[in-house]
Amino acid sequence: MSLAHELSAVLVLAGLLIGSWNESIPVPAARRSAAGEWILAGDFHVHAFPGDGALPPWALRHEAARAGLDVFTISNHNRVSTGRIARWMSRLSDGPIVIVGQEVTARGFHVIAAGIEERVSWETSPAAVVRAVHEQGGIAIAAHPVRRFWPAWNDEALGILDGYERAHPVIDIEKARADLASFDGRIRALRPDIAAIGSSDFHWTGSIGWCRTYVLARERTAAGVVEAVRAGRTVAADRRGHLYGDPALVNAVEAAGGFIPPPAERLRWLSVGFVWFGLLGLVVLA
C-alpha cells in the first residue's frame, strides 16, 4: 500500500473516531416560563427520506434529539406519507415529538402545514390553502417569505395565517435578511400577535434545528404545540442566537435561559470532511 493510500485510510479512520467521540445527545432542558408554560425548542420545516430529504425518519429523530429539539415537523413537498410513518415510529421510543406536516409547494408561494393528516392541494390560492389546513385542525406557516414569494400573499391570506418564518437559514444572506425583516413589518402591521417561526428547512446540508422556534406550550404534546403556535406564543431564533417575535415573549424566553445553542458542529463537519476526503482518496488512487 502506498503512502497516499495509507493517508487516505487514516483520514477515514480519524473521521469515524472523531464522529463517534462527538456523538452526544443532550438531555432536553425542562424549561418553563414565569407563567408556567413549557418552553419547547422546535423546528417546523424539515424534509425526510423517502421524499426530498436525506435522512429517514429514525435517523432524523436522532438528529433532532442531538440538536436539542423537543419537537419537529416533517414537511416534505406536497406529501404527508413520510411524516405519518415517522409519527408511528416515534411511538415506539422516547425522543422529540413528531408532527405530521407538508410543505404546500405552489408557484409563487410555499406554506408549511403542520398538524394535518391528509395532503393539501397546492393548485389553489394561499388563502384557500390556509383554510384547507385549518379544516384539518392544523396550522399554516408562510415558508421562507423572501421577495420572490411575496406576490401571492395578499391581505386576505395574511389575515388568516398562523405564523411566518422570521428566521430561516437564508437570513445569513444580506438581501434575504432584509426581505425577511420587510415581510415581518408587513404582516405584524396586520397581525401583531402572529407566531414568529424559526426553521431549518433541512434537506441535505446544514443541520436540523439550525434556526429554531421556542414554543410556549401549556402541554408538552403535539396538540399543545399546535395550540401554542395558533395562539402566537412563539419566539424565533436564528443560528447566532438572535431572538425575534413579541417583545414580551422574547423576554420570557430570555428570563428562562434564552437561546440554547445545539452542540458544537465544528468537530462534526471535521469528521465528515475527513471521511469524505479519505474515501475520495481511496477511490481515486484505486
What are 210-227's pLDDT values in tens digits?
999 999 999 999 999 999
Report pLDDT digits (tens) over 83-107.
999 999 999 888 999 999 999 999 8
Domain ranges in the chain are: 1-24+263-286, 28-262
Report pLDDT digits (tens) over 233-263.
999 999 999 999 999 999 999 999 999 887 6
pLDDT at 261 (0 to 100):
82
Give the global pTM.
Answer: 0.86
80-97 burial: b if 16+ Cβ within 10 Å, else e? bebbbbbbeebeeeebbb
pLDDT at 262 (0 to 100):
74
Alpha carbon distance 15, 19 (integer Å): 6
CB 188 within 8 Å of CB 158: no
Q: What ranges in 78-232 are assigned the alpha helix state H?
A: 81-90, 126-135, 155-158, 174-190, 222-230
Quickly name the fold that domain 28-262 has. TIM Barrel (3.20.20)
